[in-house]
Amino acid sequence: MPEAKKDEWSGAQEVKANWFKFDKVGDGVKGTLVAKTFQKSTQSGFADQYVYEIQKADGSLINVGISVNKKGTCQRLNSCQVGEIVGIKFESESPGKIKGGANAKNLKVYTFGMDDTYLSGGLNHKESDIPFV
């Protein structure tokens, strides 16, 4: 009788995506900015985006994608330094540019100064390791 083939994937757990989504007014994320990169869109109809990697107080990493169409938000976040504690909060909604389209999500950017833990080398990343295009 042939031996049963062992499933090499049994017992595995899927690693969940770590993208933050602003679903409702009041949603937000706060933590140390550890990386910021530019990502070209690969799908038509979707704008390029900046991706801000934030390490939360519990040590988990979360990616926050912000469309380049949100010029003010991107400008404020790009003025923040890697190692700075930042917060991004979904403050309000306003009518979108396209009649009948989705409402625009108005985001506020907050800074809480530099993270002493980051400055002392306590976090996982070093600024020299981070590509920023």
Digit-coded pLDDT (tens) for 6-62: 788 888 888 888 999 999 999 999 999 999 999 999 998 889 999 999 999 999 999
C-alpha torsion sign, points 132, 79, 98, 20: positive
pLDDT of 129 higher than 50: no
- pTM for this entry: 0.78
pLDDT at 1 (0 to 100): 54
Per-residue pLDDT, averaged over 105-125, amounts to 84
pLDDT bracket for residue 126 (50, 70, 90): very low
DSSP structural state of residue 104: E
Residue type, 36: K
The set of long-range contacts for 70-74, using a CB threshold of 8 Å and a minimum separation of 24, is: 70/107, 73/107, 73/109, 74/50
In angstroms, the CA 24 to CA 14 distance is 27
Digit-coded pLDDT (tens) for 62-76: 999 999 999 999 999
Query: Beta partners for 38?
Result: 50
**Fold exhibited by the domain 28-125:** OB fold (Dihydrolipoamide Acetyltransferase, E2P) (2.40.50)
Query: Beta partners for 42?
Result: none
Domain ranges in the chain are: 28-125
